[in-house]
Structure formats: C-alpha cells, structure tokens
Structure 1
Amino acid sequence: MNPEKTVNELSNGHEREDERTEVTPGKRVVTRTSSHEEPRPHPLKAIIIGAGIGGLTTALFLNKHGIDCEVFEQAAAIQELGVGINLMPQAIASFDEIGLLAVLEQSGIAPDRLFYRTAQGLTVWDEPRGRRAGLPYPQISIHRGRLQRLLHDAFEARAPGRVHVDRTFASWYENGWPSPSAICFRIG
C-alpha cells in the first residue's frame, strides 16, 4: 500500500495519482498537485469544544498552521473568571510560538525569584526563576481570566467570528468517509 496515496484518500476523499499531501511537524499541512505548483491549504476543519485556555490555545496553533477551526463554548460570554496562575517558561515558549510573548509580559508579572520563609522569617528555599535562572523565557504570573481574554482576543483578531458562545455540545455522528460528520449543540 502506498502511504502517500492512503493519506490522499483520507484527506481529500478521493484518489489522484498526481496529488500528494505533505505532513511535516511544525509546518502547515499542504496538498500539492504537482512539484511546480504552490501549496494550497489543507481542506481539514477542526471543531473545538470549550473556549477555555486549552481550547483557545489549540485554536491559535491550528490557525497558525493554516487549519480552519471553530470554537464552541457553553457559557453565555467569555468572562474573566478565576484566580492567579503561574505559567512556567516552557508554557511561555509555546505562547511565543503563536505570537503572544509581548502581550503576556505586559499583562502579567514575571517573578525573578521563588522563596519560602518560615513564620519567623527564616528562608528555607530560595531559587531564581525564568530568565534570572538562565532560561530563555520568563515565568509569568497572571490572572486566569485575563489569560483567557488575551487568548480569545488574539484568536478573534486572526479568525473573526469563529468563537461561538452559549452552545452546549449535545452529540455527534459520522456518516462514514468521505461524507462529513455532524455535530449537534444545544443553544442556551
């Protein structure tokens, strides 16, 4: 079995000898009809259930790689709810990949030290954090709701109208390839 042909059958719903789909980690998924043609975006579309931090971050990464997506959230509105969270440098590196480093540094606090003290004020733990620890990215403390708002605003700027609120996931079914699947939501 030719793996390239199989990818085509799965990705396009039909088979063409002159067409191949290239999937390269960290690159946009593209389909080429011949070696001299420009790539065209992959016809894949993703549906994301939940417009929380994970759902919106996923949407931004899919958008970066040229994959169309829509986000469905059961809450009536995106609100800044929650408490403060710490984003470790590894997470900040991921947010930098989708162009959010500067806005996170402006919106959060980047602690340069972590220390624990006893009730008497004696230090029992003290260590540098983020860039002070020699890492390429800071650690950022930010309100969870503010982070969600930043992610929502960034996705809305890149893909307007793709976040749908007041939609509760109800069910889905597949018709069998290559027919499209269906997904059902309750409104309100």
Structure 2
Amino acid sequence: MKDTLAQLPFDELVCQVRACTICAETLPYGPRPVVQLSQESRILVVGQAPGRRVHETGLPFNDPSGDRLRQWMGITRESFYDDRKLAILPMGFCYPGTGKSGDLPPRPECAPAWRNALLERLSNIGLTLVIGQYAHAWHLPDAKKSVTENVQNWRKYWPDVLPMPHPSPRNNLWLRRNPWFEEEVILQLQERVSSLL
C-alpha cells in the first residue's frame, strides 16, 4: 500500500485520507478524519487526535486548546486555518472517544497507514510543532518518556522542530509549574513563526 500511496497525486492522497475508515469499528462516533494541509504549507502542527468539538465541526484545534496554541504562535485564526501557511496532521486523524481521564489516545492504525506518505509531500515545512507525548514519540528520534524532559531540551531540535506540551486547559498546572516555557520558549516560537509566514 505504501508504494501505491507514494505514486498518488497529492490531491488524491488527501482525498483518500479524508475518506479513511480503517478504524471505523473502534470509533464510538464513527470516522471523520480532520486534517489540514497543502504542499505550500510552511509550518506543521502535530497534535494527538481531534477532540469531540473538533469531530463535530471538522475544524482542527477549534476549541480552547486551539485558542491557546494560536496565542502561543502569535497568529490569527485566519492565518492558522490557511493551509498554505499551516499543515495540521495529528497522530490520529479521528476522534478516538473518551476514557476515564479525558480523551483516549490516538488510534494506532492511523500513523503507520498515512503519516510517511503525507510528510514526504510537505517539502516546504520550516518548523514542526510536536505537541504531546504521542507526537513526541513519533517525531523525536531520541524522545524521553517525559514530555517535560523533551520540552526542556527544546534547543536540541530548534529551529526546525519544537517539542511542546499540549495547550489544553487540562495542562494549566503544568504551565504553572514550568513558567520558563511561556517566558523563554514562546517568544522564540513567535519570532520563528513570523519569519516563516
């Protein structure tokens, strides 16, 4: 299948992603892949998986997490949702449902099926924002088990990649315990985003 995907025109590949049903039987609300990308995209945002509100609207990061992420990046909603500027490819493209302590992890079938074929086509990316533990595990070859450790080592990956905590309000305690992130990293992020866009 991977060889076949590599030969598809980009638009057809994206259409196949948006029509994907490989996890249909395990998704409590059914499949609805939510991605945003163009071969012109300059910044790649890698999150975990869509939440329920994103599943309902079909718009990535259309929730309080997205509000904080846009604030961190220093950009407007208009810029954020311009696929020529930003590609948004979560580790799982569909809402996985809710568990005891929040949303379930991204479905494991998604990334192996689509991720490499899509990433290979995004040749204009100048910065990848890697958000949360599942994204860290895939995109950082020497990722630590702790999100905090990966984020503390952000300079190791800069300026091409930035490991980040999730911008969810559920992470307010993490942000209070790690004020250096917003004091040191966010200014650098905003300057880099501005230079790319």
Give the TM-score band, short-chain normalised. Answer: under 0.3
TM-score, with length taken from structure 2: 0.22
TM-score, with length taken from structure 1: 0.23
Question: Higher helix fraction: Structure 1 or Structure 2?
Answer: 2
Question: Higher strand fraction: Structure 1 or Structure 2?
Answer: 1
Higher CA-based Rg: 1
Higher relative contact order at CA 8 Å, sep ≥6: structure 1 or structure 2?
2
